[in-house]
Amino acid sequence: MNHHRTLISYLLFTALFSFLILVTTGCSKDENNGESSKADNTLYLFNWTYYTPESVIEAFEAEYGVNVVLDYFASNEDMFAKLKGGGSGYDVVFPSQDYAEIMIREKMVIPLDHAKLDNLRYISPLVREKATYDPDMAYAVPYYLGASGIAVMKDSLEEYPRDWSIFSDSRFRNRMSMLDDMREVMGAALAHLGYSVNSLNPDELEAATRLINEQWKPNIVKFDAEGFAKAFSSGEFSVVHGYGEAVFEEIEEERWDEVDFFLPGEGGPMYLDSMMIPVTAKHVDLAHLFINFIHRPEMYAQFLDRFRFPSTVHTEAEQYRTTEPIYSGDALAAYELKMDLGENLSLYDELWQTIRYDD
Amino acid sequence: MNSVSFDTRTRHGATFSNVVLILVILFLFLPLFVIITYSFSASKSMEFTTFSLKWYTQLFFDSDELWSAFLNSAVIALSSAAVATVIASGAAIGIMWYRFKGRQYIQILSFLPMVLPEVIIGISMLIFFSAVRLPLGLITIFIAHTTFNLPFVYLLVTARLDEFDISTVEAARDLGANEAQSLVKVVIPSILPGMLSGFLMAVTMSLEDFVITFFVSGPGSTTLPLYVYSMIRYGVSPVINALSFVLILSIMLIAFAMRRFLKTIAASS
Amino acid sequence: MKRSSRLGITYAGPMGLWLTIFFLTPLFIIILYSVLKKGLYGGVEWTFSSAAYRQLVNPAFAKVLFRTLTVSVTATAITMALALPCGYAMARSSHQSLFLGLVIVPFWTNSLIRIYAWIAILSSRGFANELLKQLHIIEESLSLIYNQGAVITVLVYMYIPFAILPLFTTIDSFDFQLLEAARDLGASRFTSITRVLLPNIRSGIITSGVFTFIPIFGAYTVPLLVGGKDSYMIGNIIVDQVTKTRNWPLASAISLIITLVSTVGVMWMLMAGAQEKRERAQSLRKAGTR
């Protein structure tokens, strides 16, 4: 009996104790939101993981005497579903081009005050041209322009095509993966066939689907957007379609020579992540300060160094960087931004189902 | 009851099941050994290269965000599991032993949150919270976790009560015990294994949940699963492996300390 | 047996209230969403539409549904087959809390990490293959991962504690003297277990089956990470409809169908359980009076 009673008191104690912690932390958080002095000092970012180097955040906090709180999302879709459902309180979000366009159209973001953003002069005019949905940066300030590519473990074969047709190469059968991403895979197939990655032509889409189902899918092990880098690093996969930073993040620098990462020459889909301020933001001034701060050339160079990215959106940062990029940004000239498909999304979705749902 | 018959139980016939139990526990611990091994490896990837403590150094000296996410998770898990255990055990007793208006309604409602897909619960709760203007944060995560924990605890306690002999309660009442006394002295002790399993299960579910939490969390209330899942695109850092080992080690230490503590209490009384 | 209704409400009221506010209201939102027109960018437009239910009639869904059912039934069966002896051994052990801890504690590590660990174990240069090679059972690495076998293995792993817990708690309250009495009356060990033990722990078996089958049926991460190109399950479709295709009404409709089917299933099991228990109690009482 005694034994039981102690257990009960443990249980009750835990309940009471943790509830107290919850209430106190919860309340103090609410106070933060209500109390103006403290609240004005905290900037809430909703970002991809690791996408802003800690050194930059710390420098920003130190310079302006503020506090930065980061929350993360793993895909544009998750982030969008959350904001659409009513999620609020974030001051700066980092969507890619298609969702940037949607959020502008859905009036989910506020127009930016350019008087507070003098570093926008460093944004490459070429990138602004590509961002057809907002070339004047009225709502969205470009953060990074990049694309998925192909990583090949060099020791696996001496000769291989350095373009999308590598996925038709049966010598790599069952040692390859492609991203589990409708637009990336369809876009790659469309680009390989010489069509636009945003094609709405049913014949072109049909041809792309056939290419994937008949030529590529038999050779790949799986569609993988999460584990491909780990599997590539451990030698399970020899050829992966994915993001360079993810691949190199998993592999120690000493082994980087063993990896050939390239952007296929025939082009493909690319993305442009931007910084935007949601209408529900509470710290608009601070958000402007932050966006401007990121594009200080020294700061932006730290971002490039962290991921070994090529400098694709910033005209000045290149000279401050201390590392070599993992891939060349030149290839991006042949690439095309994935744009929002609107109603035509279902066109792609139906075809993608035949790729993804069937055995 | 069975606690009395503990020593008189016959052991034969338990051999096969003992073997299965040991094998299953090995099966459950296998990935854990892998995680622990990799936490001491210099490599970032899931392979062992050379011995290194760098992930532990990083964990203890350079992982503020990780620790605050962990703290959030621990607070939510313990509080939601405890509250769910209390509420659901009460409901199990009420529904098993009493007949009242709305009994069937609660009974049906009690397991529904278990059935609905997580992403749907997440989205619908998000819409609900923003409609009633409850600011997203630890409180909303707590509410969501308590909600999805309730059915598990309820069913576990019900399964236990199902085999419970009501006559012991009646005997206690015949001896003059009032409702509260018979609850504390007879009912709770006998359903305690169910409550404890339910509590443990609720803690587990809460520590695990990513999908629902993603939708109902607010700025600054990142939990451990949110933190880990968000790394999915860039590769999950081995610091998490190190944290897992530290966590398991501390749970084992706490359990061990509590065992000693329990024994001393039992001996002194 | 059933006593004052005031006390019943006191006991069960808090949960009824909690679930009504925090679960039923959101559920109504979902029901409503399933009959509205899908918003172009997620969410809904406030016009009636039965499009979502019409889209449900789709051979591609049927295929995925069938696959999900096969995987869930197999994984649940294996899980239960392993969990039963485990629950039995734990209930009969004198170190109950130790085993309870051993079963639960591995699960306090993030599931994503544990799934990655499984990928490392099952991969071609992983632990499982190396072990088999060391034992000279195989020469070439087997492909153990990125197929349905891997999905089922990891699903069993993920949900086996959920199956063990209810079994343990019910077996623990089982009166083992009944088993001995059956043996004394000449029943074999096997018959005494199937005829005496199993019927008496029926509610535990049902609970454990429900705890295992339902989460496996809605599994999302496991098929995504350890499955191959043919491992897509219902859970993946629902998430994709909410996020990627932004078709909230369709996701709501699929979820409602699942909820409806499982509700009917669970209610049927609960009622069958209650019925059987009543019959058993009656026959016992009869036996007692004789």
Is A193:A207 a contact under the CB 8 Å cutoff?
yes
**Portion of chain C with pLDDT greater than 70, in percent:** 92
The predicted structure's pLDDT at residue A34: 40
Instruction: Calculate the alpha carbon distances from C5 to A184, B103, B187 in Å.
Output: 61, 10, 18
| Mean of all residue pLDDT scores within chain A | 87
| Residue A240 is assigned to a structural domain of this protein | yes
Contact between chains at A230 and C146 (C-beta distance less than 8 A): no
Read off the pLDDT band of C194 (50, 70, 90).
confident
Q: Is residue A12 part of a domain?
A: no
Q: What was the pLDDT predicted at A277?
A: 96
d(CA A223, nearest CA chain C) in Å:
6
Domains: count for chain B: 1
Q: pTM for this structure?
A: 0.86
| Chain mean position to CA B224 | 15
What SS3 class is residue A272? strand
More confident residue, C174 or A113: A113
Higher pLDDT, B7 or C156: C156
CATH class of the domain comprising C73-231: mainly alpha
Nearest to A81 among B123, B226, B258 (CB): B123
B51, part of any domain: no
Minimal-distance CA residue of chain B relative to C155: B28
ipTM above 0.95, yes or no: no
Instruction: Identify the residue with better confidence: B140 or C263.
Output: B140
DSSP string, B197-260: HHHHHHHHHHHH--HHHHHH--TT---HHHHHHHGGGT---THHHHHHHHHHHHHHHHHHHHHH
Q: Which of A38-52, B215-229, C151-165 is most confident?
A: C151-165
Encoded tokens for A272: 């442009």
Least confident of A118-122, A207-211, B22-26, B132-136: B132-136
Query: Residues of B with CB below 8 A from C11's CB?
Result: 90-91, 93-95, 98
Kindly report the nearest CA distance between residue C44 and chain B, in angstroms: 12
pLDDT at A35: 40
Grade residue A15 by pLDDT with cuts at 50, 70 and 90. low
Could you state, in order of their start, the residue ranges of all structural domains in chain C?
73-231
CB spacing of C160 vs B28 below 8 angstroms: yes
Interchain pair C246, A345: CB under 8 A:
yes
Chains in contact with B via at least 3 Cβ–Cβ pairs below 8 Å:
A, C
Cβ A123 vs Cβ A137: under 8 Å: yes
- Closest approach of C242 to chain A, Cα-based (Å): 7
Strand partners, A332: none
Mean local confidence (pLDDT), B28-45: 87
With bands split at pLDDT 50, 70 and 90, how would you rate the model's confidence at A104? very high
Choose the mutation target among A11, A96, A222, A237 for the interface with C, i.e. most C CBs under 10 Å: A222
Distance CA A104, CA B93 (A): 54
Helix (H) or strand (E) holding A274, with range, is: strand A269-275
Distance between CA atoms of residues A345 and A253, nearest Å = 40
A233 CB near a chain B CB, below 8 Å? Answer: yes
Q: What integer pLDDT is reported at residue A185 of this predicted model?
A: 95
Q: For residue range A113-143, list pLDDT tens digits in order.
A: 999 999 999 999 989 988 999 999 999 999 9
- Same domain flag for A172 and A255: yes
Query: Per residue in C18-30, pLDDT tens?
Result: 999 999 988 888 8
Residue A81 has a pLDDT of 84
| Cα–Cα distance measured from residue A78 to residue A287, given in angstroms and rounded to the nearest whole number | 22
Domain that holds residue B132: 65-237
Hey, which residues 141-180 in chain B have their CB within 8 Å of chain C?
143-144, 146-147, 150, 152, 154-156, 158-160, 162-164, 166, 179
pLDDT tens per residue across span B155-172: 889 888 877 777 777 788
Angle at A198 between CA A196 and CA A202, to 5 degrees: 85
Contacts 24+ apart (CB under 8 A), C124-131: C124/A235, C124/A236, C125/A234, C125/A235, C125/A236, C127/B30, C127/B34
Any domain includes A93 = yes
pLDDT per residue over B58-114, tens digit each? 889 888 888 889 999 999 999 999 999 999 999 999 988 888 888 888 888 887 888
Domain of residue A320 covers 40-145+271-328
Contact A80 C145 (CB under 8 A): no
Q: How many other CB atoms are there within 10 angstroms of residue A345's CB atom?
A: 19
- For residue C2, is pLDDT > 60? no
Q: Band the pLDDT of C129: cuts 50, 70, 90.
A: confident
Q: Determine the pLDDT at residue A31.
A: 42
Q: Say if B109 falls within a structural domain.
A: yes
Residue A37 has pLDDT above 50, yes or no: no
Quick one: pLDDT at residue A337? 94
Residues A220 and A341 grouped into a single domain: yes
In this structure, the answer to whether residues A200 and A169 fall within a common structural domain is yes
Confidence band for B2, pLDDT divided at 50, 70 and 90: very low
In a domain? residue B159: yes
The values of phi and psi at residue A260, to 5°, are: -110, 110
More confident residue, B230 or A119: A119
**A347 part of contact set with chain C, CB < 8 Å:** no
Per the structure, the count of domains in chain A is 2
Quick check: B3 pLDDT over 50? no
Q: Is the pLDDT of residue B223 over 80?
A: yes
Average pLDDT over residues C155-180: 89
pLDDT band, very low/low/confident/very high, at A32 (cuts 50, 70, 90): very low
State the residue for tokens 């095509």. Answer: A161
**Best mutation target, B68, B195, B234, B259, to test chain A (most A CBs within 10 A):** B234
Q: What is the pLDDT of residue A117?
A: 95
In this structure, the answer to whether residues A324 and A235 fall within a common structural domain is: no
Task: Please name the residue of chain A whose CA is at the shortest distance from the CA of residue C242.
Answer: A81
Is residue B222 included in any domain, yes or no?
A: yes
A48 shares its domain with A67 = yes
B136 in any annotated domain: yes
pLDDT (0 to 100) of residue A119: 95
Residues A352 and A231 in one domain: yes
CATH number at residue A155: 3.40.190.10
The larger pLDDT score, comparing residue C226 to residue B230, is at C226
Residues 6+ apart with CB under 8 A from A73: A46, A47, A48, A79, A82, B214, B230
Question: What CATH number is attached to the domain comprising B129?
Answer: 1.10.3720.10
Residue C258 — pLDDT band, cuts 50, 70, 90? confident
CA of residue C211 relative to chain centroid, distance: 4
Give pLDDT, residue A6. 55
Is residue C96 pLDDT above 80, yes or no? yes
Those residues with Cβ within 8 angstroms of residue A86's Cβ, 6 or more apart along the chain or in another chain: B126, B127, B129, B130, B131
C173, C242, C251 ranked by CB distance to B164: nearest: C173
Contacts by A225-231, CB closer than 8 A, 24 or more apart: A225/A179, A225/A180, A225/A181, A225/B232, A225/B233, A226/A180, A226/B232, A226/B233, A226/C224, A226/C225, A227/C116, A227/C119, A227/C225, A228/A177, A228/A179, A229/B235, A230/B45, A230/B46, A230/B235, A230/C116, A230/C119, A231/A177, A231/C119, A231/C123
